């Protein structure tokens, strides 16, 4: 398909699903994973089973969180996030599935119920026992005050940033909602994802199998480029607003 054909398709659609990865937030100053300056180069990965079994691992994880949190807290949504808000306001966005944990889609103006966070959110901390949540501002303040591995005030369970860690199960309800939306869309826009992290990266292929038009917007090639109806390589902040 040509760019013009896809634009016409979006203009006529009321069931667009957006799917975003770390690439939509780099223009907000949050680094993605797979670049030399990315997160993986600087931090030791704390796996979920370590977090629950060793205090030292919880202390390390919270130390990383405290260091990272100001960058996420102070980041501002960019033109890419705004493009999805435009689609939503035009009544076209069926759902926005994101692998991101930064909360920038909601801060840009998407209602909570439109955003499906497959990997959770770093804007809150959750009690692993009772599910109680507090803001990251509150959790980080507690760590900075010397509570190096904070516990839940209601039940004493371990508090953990509300993201899905390596080794942790995917959230059931979000996976279900993402599947339903994927099966119920006519255009699937995959934006700023290397499309290699599974199971999240399965959704674009599922959409295509079920007859949706698959559009990929990303700086670098992805493994799904060959099945996409249109692949646009370049910067999201300029390309996406032009597309929608
Ligand atoms: P990724 O790092 O694997 O891939 C990001 C892709 O975006 C790359 O292919 C890169 O070429 C592209 N990209 C980066 N900036 C771009 C720009 N301005 N314009 C166009 N393309 C751009 O990210 P992923 O696929 O989301 O998978 C990584 C995992 O990392 C996810 O599970 C996510 O949870 C997590 N993560 C999230 C954040 C965040 O919340 N902002 C940041 C880092 C990592
Ligand atoms: Zn609790």
In which residue are the tokens 């692949």 written?
231
Q: Ligand 1 within 6 A of 100 CB?
A: yes
Ligand 2 centroid to Cα of residue 133, in Å, is: 8
Q: Show the low-confidence residues of the chain (pLDDT under 70).
A: 34-42
Same CATH fold, 32-74+120-163 and 1-30+77-119+170-244? no
Cα separation, 244 vs 84, whole angstroms: 8
Q: Ligand 1 within 6 A of 216 CB?
A: no
CATH of domain 1-30+77-119+170-244: 3.40.50.1220
Q: Is 119 a catalytic residue?
A: yes
Q: Whose CA is nearest to atom 8 of ligand 1?
A: 194
Angle of the 172-183 helix axis to the 202-209 helix axis, nearest 10: 30
Q: Whose CA is nearest to atom 43 of ligand 1?
A: 32
Q: Whose CA is nearest to atom 26 of ligand 1?
A: 21
- pLDDT one-digit tens code per residue, 48-105: 999 999 999 999 999 999 999 999 999 999 999 999 999 999 999 999 999 999 999 9
pTM of the shown model: 0.95
> Residues 119, 198, 210, 233: which is the catalytic one?
119
Instruction: Give the ligand whose atoms come closest to the C-alpha of residue 153.
Output: 2
* pLDDT attached to residue 96: 98
In which residue are the tokens 């780099």 written?
26
* pLDDT attached to residue 33: 78
Residue 127's DSSP bridge partners are 159
* pLDDT attached to residue 43: 80
Domain boundaries defined on the chain? 1-30+77-119+170-244, 32-74+120-163
From residue 182, how far is each of 58, 125, 138 by CA, in Å? 35, 28, 35
CATH of domain 32-74+120-163: 3.30.1600.10
Q: Ligand 1 within 6 A of 85 CB?
A: no
């Amino acid at each position: 398909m040509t760019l013009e054909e896809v634009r016409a398709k979006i203009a006529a659609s009321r069931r667009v699903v957006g799917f975003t990865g770390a690439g939509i937030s780099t223009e907000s100053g949050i680094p993605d994973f797979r670049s030399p300056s990315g997160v993986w180069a600087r931090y030791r990965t704390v796996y979920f089973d370590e977090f629950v079994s060793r205090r030292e691992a919880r202390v390390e994880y919270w130390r990383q969180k405290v260091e990272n949190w100001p960058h996420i807290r102070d980041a501002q949504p960019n033109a890419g996030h705004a493009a999805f808000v435009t689609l939503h306001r035009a009544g076209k966005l069926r759902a926005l599935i994101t692998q991101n944990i930064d909360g920038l889609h909601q801060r840009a103006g998407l209602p909570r119920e439109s955003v499906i966070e497959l990997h959770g959110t770093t804007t809150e901390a959750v009690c692993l026992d009772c599910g109680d949540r507090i803001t990251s501002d509150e959790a980080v303040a507690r760590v900075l005050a010397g509570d190096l591995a904070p516990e839940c005030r209601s039940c004493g369970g371990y508090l953990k940033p509300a993201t899905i860690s390596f080794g942790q199960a995917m959230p059931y309800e979000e996976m279900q909602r993402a599947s339903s939306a994927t099966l119920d869309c006519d255009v699937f826009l995959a934006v700023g994802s290397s499309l290699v992290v599974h199971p999240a990266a399965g959704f674009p292929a599922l959409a295509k199998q079920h007859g949706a038009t698959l559009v990929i917007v990303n700086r670098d090639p992805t493994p799904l480029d060959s099945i996409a109806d249109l692949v646009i390589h370049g910067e999201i902040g300029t390309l996406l607003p032009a597309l929608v």
